[in-house]
Amino acid sequence: MAAIRSFVAVELGDEVKGRLAEIQRQLKAAVPSGSVRWVQPDSIHLTLKFLGDVPEERIRAIVAALERECAPVTPLTFAVAGAGCFPNARRPNVVWVGVEDSTGQLLALQQAVERALNPLGYPPEGRPFKPHLTLGRANRTASGADLRRVGDLVGGLHVAQLGQVRVAEIVLMRSDLSPAGARYTPLAHIPLGGAGT
């Protein structure tokens, strides 16, 4: 059976996506041409867990495990604010906008996802969860000087709060890679406790 490249994510509302698109437009106009491959604003999401290639016959078990673990998690809200680069501004690989989780509820949700998937052979990541929204990725052909310029521009960007995202469900998403960029298709919507009733 075919394998499906999959991840678990939170989808964003149109209002927040529109504001992210505006920040992308500002950055696109300022950074050296071709230095960053930008994510389509409609495709921007918050990744909770990347699974990689999943055999098709395992999707049902993954959805059932997520439903079980996420049923007790109450719907939550997080704020979108701030910007930066991974791993840092001197060597930007990913350009992101930040996610503020002052209550710890988002981390609790991400840990529930980890608990659900660990027994199925998807162990927790070794590094701590750093919630973020990817705006773009450094182009492999970009020069070091161009990337440093990207880092400087992102570092100088002041991103005030762009809005709140209410999370009433998580989504198991399919990712199909193409030269035009990744295309994402929901495989299953998993409601959080109380959200589906």
Structural domains of the chain ordered from first start? 3-191 (3.90.1140.10)
Closest residue by Cα to residue 67 from 107, 125, 8 = 8
Choose between 177 and 121: higher pLDDT: 121
What pTM does this model have? 0.91
- The continuous run of DSSP H or E covering 21 comes out as helix 14-30
In this structure, how many other beta carbons lie within 10 angstroms of the beta carbon of residue 115?
Answer: 15
Q: pLDDT tier at 178 (50, 70, 90 boundaries)?
A: confident
pLDDT of residue 125: 86
Q: Which residues contact 191 (CB under 8 A, 6 or more apart)?
A: 70, 168, 169
Percent share of the chain, pLDDT over 70? 97
Give the β-pairing of 45-55 and 76-87: unpaired
Q: pLDDT tier at 194 (50, 70, 90 boundaries)?
A: low
Kindly report, residue by residue over 117-156, the tens digit of the pLDDT.
999 999 998 889 999 999 999 999 999 999 999 999 999 9
Per DSSP, the residues of 99-144 read EE-TTSHHHHHHHHHHHHHGGGT-PPPSSPP--EEEEEEE-TT--H
Kindly report, residue by residue over 82-103, the tens digit of the pLDDT.
999 999 988 899 999 999 999 9
Average pLDDT of the segment spanning 20-37: 94
Q: pLDDT tier at 195 (50, 70, 90 boundaries)?
A: low
Contact criterion met (CB below 8 Å) for 85 and 96 = yes
- 1-5, 38-42, 91-95, 173-177: least confidently modelled range: 1-5
Cis, peptide link before residue 41, omega less than 30° from 0: no
pLDDT of residue 181: 73
Give yes or no: 189 in active site.
no
User: How far apart, in whole angstroms, are the C-alpha atoms of residue 78 and residue 82?
Assistant: 13
DSSP state of 193: T
- In the predicted structure, residue 196 carries a pLDDT above the cut 60: no
Average pLDDT of the segment spanning 157-186: 90
pLDDT of residue 23: 95
**Which of the residues 132, 138, 151, 172 is marked catalytic?**
132
**Which of the residues 45, 76, 116, 146 is marked catalytic?**
45
Give yes or no: 158 in active site.
no
Contact criterion met (CB below 8 Å) for 192 and 105 = no
DSSP state of 195: T
